Structure formats: C-alpha cells, structure tokens
Amino acid sequence: MRRDVSNPMPIIAEDVSQSACGIVIVGFQCTYHLVAMVKIVTAPLLSERLDEVRRRIDAGALRCNRAPNEITLVAVSKTHPAEIIREAIAASVTDLGENRVQEAESKIPEVGRHAARWHLIGHLQSNKARRAVELFDVIHSLDSVALAQRLDRMCVELSRPELPVMIQVDLGREATKSGVDQAEVLQIVEALKQCEHLRLTGLMTLPPYFDDTEQVRPFFRKLRELRDELSSRGAFGDLHGELSMGMTHDYEIAIAEGATIVRVGTAIFGERKKV
C-alpha cells in the first residue's frame, strides 16, 4: 500500500470504492436481466391466449351438445395498434371487431381491408354510415329504421350489392348503451324488407355487467327467444339467425344460451389502452 506524500489517505481507498461501485452496477444489471427473463417466461403470448379462448369455446360448445364450428370468434381489436392485429391474424384470427368508425378509418387500411373479416360492433352514428359501408363486412349495431334506410342508400351510392346487418337489442335498458327496445324490433325488421341491399342476419345485445356471470344468463336467453320468434316468421330468410352475444367475462354463459358469435377482446389482446 503506497501513499501520496501530499495525501495521508491510502490511494487504495479510491480503488476499493470504484471496485465496489462496479460490483453494484454488475449486480443491478444481473438483477434487471433476470427480472426481464422472468417476465418473458411468465407473460403468455397472444397466440397462447388465443388458443386458450378457443379451447374454452370448444369446451363450452361440447358441454351443451353443440358443434364448436357453430360459433364464430370475433377478436375485438379496438384501441390496439395495427402491429398487434397483424400478430393476431398471423395466429389465424379471421374476424376482427372494432367499436368506432373513426378509429377504424386509419387502422383497417393499414392492416388491410381484406386481411380479415371486419365487424362494426359499436354504436354507428348516421353521419358515419358511408364510411362504415366502405370499411366493414358486417354491422352488428343497427338500431333504427332511419339508420337502415341510410345504410341502404350508401350501398347504392357505393355500388355495394349486399351488406349483412344485425339489430342491436337493448335488453338491459342502460342509459350508456345503444340499441333498440325489444318492442320496436319488428318495426326495423319490416323496414329492412324495403332495403334492397341490406340483409338481416341476426341479433346482437350488450347486457349489463355483473361480477356474477350467472346474472347475465336471462338477457342472453331473452335474445335467443326473440331470435327464435323472428326466425319462425322468416325474418332471416333461409337462415336461423345469428346471436352475437358474450364477451371476455361471460362468453361461456352466452354459448350455453345459444350464442353463434362471441366478441372477445381482453382475453386475447390484454387490457386496452384508454383513448
């Protein structure tokens, strides 16, 4: 241990401090990489989450003696960026749901208009009808005669021969949700008979949220009963009529009550970003 004549403190103290600092830095880096590795290992991939949803759909169908291929999975991609949606398509997602025309206007062209079958599942304002006809393959949220007539006119202007639509039925009567009252459904069904380019394919509902998913069952059952009544009157032509109902927290109950389309977002893509 040598000393500096002008400094009585050993020079080695500085060396020790630097070495200790180096040990702390190396230790922090090792810990950081270890945490990162754990996150990579434990966080399920989108494809794994998708496989789990499909497994539960298949199991739910078999429990009620239904064929799994009777049920279409619509992956709800609202607020998720194009790169994540491409990942879902690469994992064999064929149907994607968006809530807002405004968001879809930029996203769908970026992903590809024909890269998937695009469903509009959110409320449609009349002034967005033209863009909806251009962007979407199916509209789940028809809720008025006026909107039906406007969509039909847009199909004429855009030379679209047919647009499949579903009537959104408001069974929960919540102020924050759209849809037509059950008593007014027949009025829209009759109006659609005069719309050359719209084809009624089924019904959709968005019931109240319950922590206990069993509480949502009566809403799904009521929609099925309404569909069956309309089907007996020939409202869906030669088809029995789709039932678009059930989301991440309750789609297994919906399947048990006859859902033919389930709209699942969080269970596939994770929590949404607020927009």
Instruction: Locate the domains of the chain by residue range.
Output: 1-43, 46-269
Taking Cα atoms as reference points, which of 167, 185, 89, 103 lies closest to residue 136? 103
Question: Tell me: the pLDDT tens digits for 32-71?
Answer: 444 444 334 445 899 999 999 999 999 999 999 999 999 9
Task: Give me the phi and psi of 238, to 5 degrees please.
Answer: -80, -5
Question: Tell me: the pLDDT tens digits for 244-268?
Answer: 999 999 999 999 999 999 999 999 9
Q: Give the model's pLDDT for residue 217.
A: 98
Q: Beta strands 95-98 and 163-168: pairing type? A: unpaired
Q: Give the model's pLDDT for residue 168.
A: 98
Question: Tell me: the pLDDT tens digits for 210-232?
Answer: 999 999 999 999 999 999 999 99
Residue type, 216: V
Contact 245, 262 (CB under 8 A): yes
Question: Tell me: the pLDDT tens digits for 89-111?
Answer: 999 999 999 999 999 999 999 99
DSSP bridge partners of 168: 204
Question: Tell me: the pLDDT tens digits for 111-166?
Answer: 999 999 999 999 999 999 999 999 999 999 999 999 999 999 999 999 999 999 99
Q: Is the pLDDT of residue 20 over 80?
A: no
Question: Tell me: the pLDDT tens digits for 229-249?
Answer: 999 999 999 999 999 999 999
Per-residue exposure over 104-125, b if at least 16 CB sit within 10 Å of its own CB, e if not: beebbeebeeeebebbbbbbbe
Q: Which residues, at least 6 apart from 112, have a Cβ–Cβ distance to it below 8 Å?
A: none
Rounded CA gap, 181 and 179, in Å?
7
Q: Give the model's pLDDT for residue 2.
A: 46
CATH fold label, 46-269: TIM Barrel (3.20.20)
Q: Give the model's pLDDT for residue 43.
A: 59
Q: Give the model's pLDDT for residue 32.
A: 46
Q: Give the max Cα distance, the chain.
A: 106
